[in-house]
Structure formats: structure tokens, C-alpha cells
Structure 1
Amino acid sequence: MNPSPSRPRGRRVRAVLGVAVAAALLPASQLLAAPHASAAPAASAAPGASQSHGADTAARSADGGVVHFVRSHGHLVRVVTHGRYGIVAADGTSAVPARRRANSGGLQYNGGVVQHSPRVYLVYWGSQWDNDSNGIQPYMTNLFNGIGTSSDSWSATTTQYPDSSGTGPSFTGPVLAGSWVDDSAPAPAAAQQADIAAEADAAASHFGVAGDPDAQIVVMSPHGTSPDGWPSSGFCAWHDYTGSVSYSNMPYQLDAPSGSRCPNAALGGKLDAFSIVEGHEFAESVTDPQPSSGWVDANGEEIGDLCESNFQDVTLSTGTFAMQPLWSNNDGGCVITPGSGTGSATAR
């Protein structure tokens, strides 16, 4: 995909150094997204794993994405990919996000939508998930059953960012709206981005949320798989959108090799990387669900990209989770809990 000079560049997540540092994302794939996507047909939820069928590199959607035709759940479906957007610091130290913040000027609105009532749908892709000996599924359930409740002040930072309607994100209860173990077939050993988009489409069809701008699908790949070249492609996770549904590519973080910069056990918890990395993708999908048409800075950085260090434990009603700070325009910096601030962000 050729970057469009009129849009901020997207960022790819890179892994993070060692135990005490954050998931780092290198701008490996500088791919751009225009504000709105043309709707791609939802994949059928019939049994069968996704498999890339090929992409016509000359074919572009109305919003500039690349059109692919993918075999998914027994059907050939059309999906559109725009890039890989998401997390993190480049070298696993606080120096890189600090340099980004120094050159940032804060988040700016680019004319697109934000999620007004965010809802998360977890899809555990593949029959490999029938064995979850590390307890990833209950961990993710507890995380998203805690986010959005009265015990959660972490996500409140996102509420200062409205879209052109004047409405911003709001939270009135758990954001988790559904979980699905798609065990109709094994997940591909090496899914491509189009395969992941097709699985997100299938999940949107399964949950009945195709076309819902407030839905975000988290595609959880199982142990032993390498979605989009992970872990050697320079990211811990990323997000994009298909049709109008936002989705995240969430690899099996415990498979990161020794020396990886993905933040496993960042604060001493075995599953810390899952909450840090997916928490980052969640917040960015809320404030920039169709990258980069929501809230990004002048360099294309999103709400999590500027704050990829200084992880802290956040206590929710469902447990304690390692999380990263988020950028607050109101506070002029990275916060775990928004302060009093002055003024509010305005969509112009």
C-alpha cells in the first residue's frame, strides 16, 4: 500500500525490552487510512478457517484500502485492509515516548468518528483454544468486565475526545459484550492481515454487529501461531478496521521469544502483556477506530503511542491488571487516572 500524503502515517507495534518495559511499536508499516471505509461483505459464520486467496494489488476501496478476497468459513469473502496501527515505544525505554511527546503538541481531531458506547467482542480463533491451560480466556473476560464500570477510572481519559457530533466516549457498565471460541477449525499457522480481517468480519456476523461503529473485535490468536508474521515482524499487536467495525490483531503474547520486547511479566504478572497491549489497542480503537481519522497527533501517534512506559497496576472490580498510561490533552501528559485538567478537547 502506498502512503497517502494527505493523512497522518499509521504506526506498527513493536515489542518491548525486558520485564519492566512496555510493548514497543516501531513504525514498520507506514500505511495510511482515510476517514471512512466502504462496507465489506460480512463473512459467513459457517465452519472453516480463514485462508488467504489473494489480493488484487491494483484494486482499491473507496477509502483507499487494499481489496482482498479471502477464503473464510467455507466462503470466499471480500475484505479491505488499511494498515497496521497501534502501540508503542521503539526501543523499550522511556526515552522514545518522551521524544514523541516533546514533538507532539497533543492529539488533534481529523474529522472521523469515535466510539460513543464502546463494546468489546472477544473471538478466540481456532480449535487450539479448546485447551487454555494458561487461563487467557478468564483473564481477558475479567479485564473487559472491569473496564467501563464504576471502579474503572483508567478508561475515563478517552471521554474527553468527541467527534463532530459533539459526543465523546462514555461508559455505563462493562464493555465486554460477547465472547466466542471459534473452534470450527484450527487457526492458520501464519495468518496474513487479510485473514485476520476476514475472521473479524466472521465474528461481527456471529455477534450481529456488522456495521456497528461502537463494536470492536479482538481477534485472539492461539499458542503456536504467527499472525501477520508475529513475533518477527516488529509488533506486539495492532488495530485496523473492516467495513465500519474496528478490530485488533492480538497474538499469543506468551509465545514471544526470549529477548522479545513485548511486556510479559512487566509488573510481575504472567499475563501482564495481554492487559497492557490489548488495553492500548482498546483505547486507540475508542478514540481512533478508523485510523487515522479520529484523534492523533501531528505525527500520526494515537492516545497510547505517546505513553508506552511507566506501567502501573490498575485495580478494577474484577481484579488487578497491568496497564499503561494514556495521553490526556486536558492534563497535558500521560495519565493512569485523569486529573482535574483545564478545559476539554474540542472536535473542530
Structure 2
Amino acid sequence: MGMSPTSRRNRVRALTGLSALALAAAGFAAAPAAQANQPGSELAGHSHPYRHGAVPTKEAGQSATARTSNLKYGGGVDGIGVTTGAPKVYLIFWGSQWGTQGTDANGYTTLSGDPKGEAVRTQQLFKGLGTNNETWSGVMTQYCEGVATGATSCPSGSAHVGYPTGGALAGVWVDGSAAAPGQATGNQIATEAVKAAGHFGNTTAASNRNVQYVVLSPTGTHPDGFNTTGGNFCAWHDWNGDTTLTGGAASSPYGDVAFSNDPYVTDMGSSCGQNYVNSGSAGTLDGVTMVFGHEYSETITDQNPAGGWTDSTGYENADKCSWNGVGGTGGSQNVTFATGSFAMQGTWSNAVSGCQISHAIVQ
């Protein structure tokens, strides 16, 4: 593959732009599924080794060099390459700053310290994945594990990325036991994810095998330097055992725990995707769904970075299609799930060596 799993772990994957797909009731109403487009640019952010799939700000991503190489399998880390079962997403609203918890008419958790409404929008997104026979998730299902290191395709019968049938949202926890740190380290974020695994009763390696924990920090905080000088990213993902995390790896009695650092992205406005697809109030939360969808797609295709699928320079499936413009076969578009319409980005497809917003589900 040109790089060992260890050296790939020490590369940052730049995540940027993101698209929202226009799905018809049974799929995407946007570009034909058989087509793809090459990204005009791909982001390269190497400031920190552990920020896998890091979504750079839009400004940071615009100076990247084009790359068109396909993804290769990294051989697995701790025997884990991709998420092979139906993906499960647990949302952790970390910190007392989120305020008072309530429930809206649709059963979504609301929070008084959430001025932009990110909490409900995030729940809608993950509950909607895998509904309406959506094929945005289909792009990811072409990847697998159990193949040779360096492979660029998956034979019939291999263990493919699972499809989130009926929705990926598996649980919501508002951890208001203490204030979230003003600037959490990678270790603290990973530790919160491990704590959440215990909270949700996922206390074995098997119960965490197809799970990811989305650690959401409240407005005004700066997890890992988000929205500070030099913190020119919107989100990133990793696993608890990564020794390059700031503060070191986080121990887990529950097996490997995959997690993402999802800050309060609207604090950075258009730099993290606000109004990237939709204008006015309809686009206020574009960046929320594009950024969080980006990290979700990279976690299921590279669960323990970088044992899953990356290109020859270490970038993951969503990195290669970030900030790729709006519309077409691989740009950001509105995608309709059963829970609403969401701005989403295209992701890389080895099947066509380009970015796709839609691909037939591989099972």
C-alpha cells in the first residue's frame, strides 16, 4: 500500500466540504448512480497525527493538491478494518453546558444550551440513515475487510461495510455530571467515549465491534483546539487505543472503542459549512450534517485508523471528496431520508475511481 498501518496512523486525513444528496423516496434524485466525478482538490492537513479524517475548515481546504488514487485496504488494527455489521451510533452530549434536557413532539432530546438546534438535527440525521432505501450509504458498502493488505477491491463473500437498515441511531446520553473541558485533549475525548460505552451497557469487545460514539461538545468550548488559532478543523475521528492522541491513549475495559470529536460546528459559521448547500436559515445547519456525516462514513470504512481503507497518502473516503462543490455526481447536495432533507457530501468510490453521492448497496 506504500505506507504501513503505523505510518498511516501518523497522517492526518483532511475532511472538508460536504454535500447533501437529493434522495428521492427510494434513493437519490440527484446524479445517476453509475457515474462519478473527480475532486478538484483534496485536503492535506498534517498538523496532528491523530486527527484522522480531520475536517479542515473550508479556507484551509482550498489550497490542496488534486489526487485521484483509489483507496487501499490497510490490513486491520487489532483485527478491525471496517464496520461489518449494521452501524450503530451513540450520541453523547458532553457537559453541563448543554443545559436542561427536554423532549420535543417527535421524541428527540432537546437542550436549553443549544442555541442553533444542533442536538435535534444530529439525532434526525443518524436516525434517518438507512431509511427510504437511501443509497448515500451504499457508497460505503463496497468496502470490506479480510482481504490482502493493499487490495483495492472486495471479492464476493467478503465482509463488507454494513448498511444501517432502519436508522443508525442507537442511543442518546446527555452527560451533565460535570462541565465539559474548555479545551479537551484527545485523551479526554476518548475517555468520555469509553465512559459512554459503559453507560450504554456495551461492556464487551463484541458489543462495541460495530459501534461508534459521537462525542458532541457544547457551544463555546474548544475540544482539541477547535475554533482557536491553529485549530483549523471542524471534526475528526479515532479509537481509544491510538497512542498519538494528545494526553495518550485511553484505557478501555470494554474492548476497542471508536469515537469522533464533533465540536459545536456552527461556532465557526461558514468555515465549517454553514450555508454551503442551502441559503438563509435553511442552510444554518448544513455544516452539522456534512461534517458529522463525513466522520461517520470514515469511521465505518476505517474504524481503527488506519487499518481500513485509505489512499496511498493516508486520506480516507470522505477526505477525497470534501469541499467538492455543490451538485453533480459527487458534490454536496440535499439528501432526503425518512427524517428530513440533509446537506451531505459525496464520498470516494473505488468502483468508479471518483466521488459519488449514490451507489447500489453491496451486501
Contact kept, 8 Å, 1:240 with 1:246, in 2: the verdict is: yes
Please state how far the C-alpha of 1:93 moved relative to its aligned partner: 9.0
What percentage of residue pairs aligned between the two structures are identical? 42
**Counterpart of 1:256 in 2: which secondary structure?**
helix
Which protein has greater RCO, CA pairs closer than 8 Å, 6+ apart? 2
Cα distance per residue 1:263-308 (max 9 Å; x no partner): 1121221111110001000000000011111011111010001101
Cα distance per residue 1:97-150 (max 9 Å; x no partner): 67122xx2x011111121012110000001111222322111111101111223
**Counterpart of 1:157 in 2: which secondary structure?**
helix
Aligned mates of 1:284, 1:12 — CA distance in 2: 10
Match of 2:138 among 156, 174, 184: 156
Match of 2:67 among 72, 89, 100: 100
Alignment of structure 1 residues 48-59 onto 2, 5 Å = none
Q: Closer, same or farther in 2 for the Cα pair 1:136/1:167, shift >3 Å?
A: same
TM-score by length of 2: 0.70
Moved more, 303-312 or 203-212: 203-212
AA aligned opposite 2:162: S
Q: Structure 2: which 5+ residue stretches go unaligned?
A: 19-39, 100-111, 148-157, 241-254, 325-330
Alignment root-mean-square deviation, CA: 2.9
Q: Closer, same or farther in 2 for the Cα pair 1:156/1:5, shift >3 Å?
A: closer
* Matched residue count: 280
Match of 2:263 among 246, 251, 260: 251
Cα distance per residue 1:67-110 (max 9 Å; x no partner): xxxxxxxxxxxxxxxx1101446865997667122xx2x01111
Q: Structure 1: which 5+ residue stretches go unaligned?
A: 32-82
**Counterpart of 1:99 in 2: which secondary structure?**
coil
Alignment of structure 1 residues 283-302 onto 2, 5 Å = 283-302=297-316
Aligned mates of 2:71, 2:290 — CA distance in 1: 21
Alignment of structure 1 residues 178-197 onto 2, 5 Å = 178-197=171-190
TM-score by length of 1: 0.73
Aligned to 2:119: 137
Aligned mates of 1:221, 1:143 — CA distance in 2: 17
Please state how far the C-alpha of 1:251 moved relative to its aligned partner: 0.7
Contact kept, 8 Å, 2:235 with 2:261, in 1: the verdict is: yes
Aligned to 1:237: 235
Please state how far the C-alpha of 1:15 moved relative to its aligned partner: 6.5
Aligned mates of 2:82, 2:131 — CA distance in 1: 20
Aligned to 2:199: 206
Moved more, 127-136 or 236-245: 127-136
Aligned mates of 2:57, 2:220 — CA distance in 1: 25
Q: Closer, same or farther in 2 for the Cα pair 1:6/1:129, shift >3 Å?
A: closer
Please state how far the C-alpha of 1:170 moved relative to its aligned partner: 2.2
Aligned to 2:162: 170
Aligned to 1:329: 350
Contact kept, 8 Å, 2:183 with 2:221, in 1: the verdict is: yes
Query: Does the alignment pair 1:27 with 2:45?
Result: yes
AA aligned opposite 1:109: Y
Aligned to 1:69: none
Alignment of structure 1 residues 120-135 onto 2, 5 Å = 120-130=89-99, 131=112, 132-135=114-117
Query: Does the alignment pair 1:110 with 2:74?
Result: yes
Q: Closer, same or farther in 2 for the Cα pair 1:6/1:13, shift >3 Å?
A: closer
